[in-house]
C-alpha cells in the first residue's frame, strides 16, 4: 500500500522559489569582481535567474546538457546556478585553482556546451579556447561596459555579458516539472590520483542534503543568521550553503575573489555575520590578521571548519580570544559534501572546554541519512572503540553511487557503501576521527602512524604557521615520519624545539625521525596540504636514523 500524500518532486528550483516568495527582501551581499559591494535580494535573484534561463533555452540548452561555471562566490554566480538547474540542465562547477590541462580535460570530459565565467578567468579561456571543442559560447558574469574593457572582441569570439542577456529576456520561465532524480550538478574530484572524476548530484540528493544541513546538530541555520560563504561554490556546492541559506531566508554574504584575512574580517564586521564556513588555511589568515591589527569579532558566533583537520590552536584562538564556537566537519565531493560534524552530545557538552577538546578535534558524528562503518582491507568490520583503525566507508541518499560516465568502475561494496579512501577510528560515543588518507598513512614496523595527528599538534607550536608530515623510507622500519614546518614570518627555530613540543603528546614510537624547516608547504586545489607533491620533493630523502640496512 502506498501513502496518499501529494507528489511534490524535490527539485532545487523550489528552494529559490521559497526564498523569493517568503523572504523576498532578504539581502545577498557580494564583493564584486569589479570592486564595489553589490546588494541584491532573493526576489531579484529569482527574477534575474529566470531571465538567464530563457537566454539558455534560446541557445538551445535542454535537460541534461552541461553548462559550466568558472567563477568566484557572488550573487551573479548564484543566478547562473539556478538558471541552469531550474530548466533541468546540469550545473558543472569548475575549480579555477586546477592546472590548465586539468581544467581542459574536465570541460571536455563533461562536454560542456556553455561556460559562465568571471572577468578574472577570461585570459584562461582566451588562451585555451581552441582546446574546448564542445563549448559553443562564453557568458561573462558582468555588464557590457566591463566586457569591453577586457578587450576580448575577436579573441573570445561570441562572448556575451550576462547583464545584457538579463536585460534582453523576460522573467516568465517555467522551472521544474521533471523527475527529482534528474541530474542537477556536476563537480569533479581534485584528481590526486589519475584523472579527476565527476560526481553527478541529483535534484533529490541536493534537496535532502539541504534539509540535513539545517538540523541544529549540523549547521543549524535560520532566517536570523547572516552567513559568510567563504568556502567556494566550486567546492562541492559551497558545502550546500547556496541551497541552505535561501531555504531559510538567511542573509548571504559572498566574498568574491578577495579572501585574505583583512577582506574577510571587513565583511564579517560590516555585514554583521553570525555564521561562516571555510577550510583551516582561511581561518589561519584571518587570525593572523586580527593578531597583527588587534581587531575583534563582534557578531560572529559559529564557524564550520572542514576540508582538512583543524589544529587545536585554531579552535582555542576562536574560543579563548573571540568567543566563537568552532564546529569541526568532514566530508568530500562524493558526499555532497557533509558527512560528519563534531557538535557535542549532552554528555560532552557538560564537560569543561579542555575536556571537550579531544572530541572537538575529531571529525564528529553522522547526521540522519548518513551511515558509516570501518573495515579492514578484506572488508571485515572494525570495532567502534576509538583505537582500531579501519577504512572509512559511507552510504546514504546524497552519497555517490558511481562516477560520471562510469569512470573507475563500481565504487560501492556489497552492502552499498562507498570507500572514502580515508583511514579512521570511531569511538564508543560515535565520534569519527580521520587518522589519514589511506595513501598517506605511515606504516612503521607493521603498525600505523597518523600523520594528521602529528601535524595538528605540531601546528600548535607558537612558531609554526603550517606543518606537514610524510612517511620516508627507512631500512629497518619500512617508513618513519618526517616533520616539515613552515615558520611564521620572522621566526627561527631548531628541530629540538618541535620534538620537545611533541614529547608527551604522541606515542614515543610516533616521534618524527627528523624535522625540516621549509619556505613553503604546497596546498592543492581544494586548500589541503598536497602530500603527493611533498613526497615528490623529498623523494630519496635520507633520515638521520637511516643507517646501513639491517639484515
Answer yes or no: is 380 within a domain: no
pTM for the structure as a whole: 0.86
Q: Using pLDDT thresholds of 50, 70 and 90, give the confidence band for residue 444.
A: confident
- pLDDT for position 550: 38
Domain boundary among 242, 258, 274: 258
Which of 56-70, 401-415, 533-547 is most confident? 56-70
At 348-387, the pLDDT tens digits run 999 999 999 999 999 999 999 999 999 998 899 999 999 9
Q: Which domain holds residue 518?
A: 442-537
Question: Residue 194: is its pLDDT beyond 80?
Answer: no
Question: Residue 242: is its pLDDT beyond 90?
Answer: yes
Answer yes or no: is 298 within a domain: no
Q: Using pLDDT thresholds of 50, 70 and 90, give the confidence band for residue 153.
A: low
Answer yes or no: is 320 within a domain: no
Closest by Cα among 88, 94, 78 to 41: 78
At 506-542, the pLDDT tens digits run 888 889 999 999 999 998 777 778 888 898 999 889 9
At 75-105, the pLDDT tens digits run 999 999 999 999 999 999 999 988 888 899 9
Answer yes or no: is 316 within a domain: no
At 2-30, the pLDDT tens digits run 999 999 999 999 999 999 999 999 999 99
| CATH number, position 472 | 3.30.300.30
Answer yes or no: is 301 within a domain: no
Eight-class DSSP state of 73: B
Question: Residue 442: is its pLDDT beyond 90?
Answer: no
Question: Residue 275: is its pLDDT beyond 60?
Answer: yes
- pLDDT for position 446: 66
Q: What percent of the chain has pLDDT over 90?
A: 81
Domain count, the chain: 2
Domain boundary among 213, 235, 258: 258
Answer yes or no: is 401 within a domain: no
Question: Residue 257: is its pLDDT beyond 70?
Answer: yes
8 Å CB contact between 463 and 497 = yes
- pLDDT for position 438: 73
For every residue of 378-411, which 3-state class applies, written as one string? CCCECCCCCCCCEEEEEECCCCCCCCHHHCCCCC
- pLDDT for position 193: 53
Q: How far apart are CA 263 and CA 416, in angstroms?
A: 44
Overall average pLDDT of the 140-161 stretch: 82
Q: Using pLDDT thresholds of 50, 70 and 90, give the confidence band for residue 311.
A: confident
Active-site positions read 189, 334, 443, 448
Answer yes or no: is 154 within a domain: yes
Q: How far apart are CA 485 and CA 517, in angstroms?
A: 5
Answer yes or no: is 423 within a domain: no
Q: How far apart are CA 221 and CA 226, in angstroms?
A: 9
Question: Residue 414: is its pLDDT beyond 90?
Answer: yes
Domain boundary among 258, 290, 320: 258
Overall average pLDDT of the 411-433 stretch: 95
| CATH number, position 170 | 3.40.50.12780
Mean pLDDT taken over the chain: 93
Amino acid at each position: 500500500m502506498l501513502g496518499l500524500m501529494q507528489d511534490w518532486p524535490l527539485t532545487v528550483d523550489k528552494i529559490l522559489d521559497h526564498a523569493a516568495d517568503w523572504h523576498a527582501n532578504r539581502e545577498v551581499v557580494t564583493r564584486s569582481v569589479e570592486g564595489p559591494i553589490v546588494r541584491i535580494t532573493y526576489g531579484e535573484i529569482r527574477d534575474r535567474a529566470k531571465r538567464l534561463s530563457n537566454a539558455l533555452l534560446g541557445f538551445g540548452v535542454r535537460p541534461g546538457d552541461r553548462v559550466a561555471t568558472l567563477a568566484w562566490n557572488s550573487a551573479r554566480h548564484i543566478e547562473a546556478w539556478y538558471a541552469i538547474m531550474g530548466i533541468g540542465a546540469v550545473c558543472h562547477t569548475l575549480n579555477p585553482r586546477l592546472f590548465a590541462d586539468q581544467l581542459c580535460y574536465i570541460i571536455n570530459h563533461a562536454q560542456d556546451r556553455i561556460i559562465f565565467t568571471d572577468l578574472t578567468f577570461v585570459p584562461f579561456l582566451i588562451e585555451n579556447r581552441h582546446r574546448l571543442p564542445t563549448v559553443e559560447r562564453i557568458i561573462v558574469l558582468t555588464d557590457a561596459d566591463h566586457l569591453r574593457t577586457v578587450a576580448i572582441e575577436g579573441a573570445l569570439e561570441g562572448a556575451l555579458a550576462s547583464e545584457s542577456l538579463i536585460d534582453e529576456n523576460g522573467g516568465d520561465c517555467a522551472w521544474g516539472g521533471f523527475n527529482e532524480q534528474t541530474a542537477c550538478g556536476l563537480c569533479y574530484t581534485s584528481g590526486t590520483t589519475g584523472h579527476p572524476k565527476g560526481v553527478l548530484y541529483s535534484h533529490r540528493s541536493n534537496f535532502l542534503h539541504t534539509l540535513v544541513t539545517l538540523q541544529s546538530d549540523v549547521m543549524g541555520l535560520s532566517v536570523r543568521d547572516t552567513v559568510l560563504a567563504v568556502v567556494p561554490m566550486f567546492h562541492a556546492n559551497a558545502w550546500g550553503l547556496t541551497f541552505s541559506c535561501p531555504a531559510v531566508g538567511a542573509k548571504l554574504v559572498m566574498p568574491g575573489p578577495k579572501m585574505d584575512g583583512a577582506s574577510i574580517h571587513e565583511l564579517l564586521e560590516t555585514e554583521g555575520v553570525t555564521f561562516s564556513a571555510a577550510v583551516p588555511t582561511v581561518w589561519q589568515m584571518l587570525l593572523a590578521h586580527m593578531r597583527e591589527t588587534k581587531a575583534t569579532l563582534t557578531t560572529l558566533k559559529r564557524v564550520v571548519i572542514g576540508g582538512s583537520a583543524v589544529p587545536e590552536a585554531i579552535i582555542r584562538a576562536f574560543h579563548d580570544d573571540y568567543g566563537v564556537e568552532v564546529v569541526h566537519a568532514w566530508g568530500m565531493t562524493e558526499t555532497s559534501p557533509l558527512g560528519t560534524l563534531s557538535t557535542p552530545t549532552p554528555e560532552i557538552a557538560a564537560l569543561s572546554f579542555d575536556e571537550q577538546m579531544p572530541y572537538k578535534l575529531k571529525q564528529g558524528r553522522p547526521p540522519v541519512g548518513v551511515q558509516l562503518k570501518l573495515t579492514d582491507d578484506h572488508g571485515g568490520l572494525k570495532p567502534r572503540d576509538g583505537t582500531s583503525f579501519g577504512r572509512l566507508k559511507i552510504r546514504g541518499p546524497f552519497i555517490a553511487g558511481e562516477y560520471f560516465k562510469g569512470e573507475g568502475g563500481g565504487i560501492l561494496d556489497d552492502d552499498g557503501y562507498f570507500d572514502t579512501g580515508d583511514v579512521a577510528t570511531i569511538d564508543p560515543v560515535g565520534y569519527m576521527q580521520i587518522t589519514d588518507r589511506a595513501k598517506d598513512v605511515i606504516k612503521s614496523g607493521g603498525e600505523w602512524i597518523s600523520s594528521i595527528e602529528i601535524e595538528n599538534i605540531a601546528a600548535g607550536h607558537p612558531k609554526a604557521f603550517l606543518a606537514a608530515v610524510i612517511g620516508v623510507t627507512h631500512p629497518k622500519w619500512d617508513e618513519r615520519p618526517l616533520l616539515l614546518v613552515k615558520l611564521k614570518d620572522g621566526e627561527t627555530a631548531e628541530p629540538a624545539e618541535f620534538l620537545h613540543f611533541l614529547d608527551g603528546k604522541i606515542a614515543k614510537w610516533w616521534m618524527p625521525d627528523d624535522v625540516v624547516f621549509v619556505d613553503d608547504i604546497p596546498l592543492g586545489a581544494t586548500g589541503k596540504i598536497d602530500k603527493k607533491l611533498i613526497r615528490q620533493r623529498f623523494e630519496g630523502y635520507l633520515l638521520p636514523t637511516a643507517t646501513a640496512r639491517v639484515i
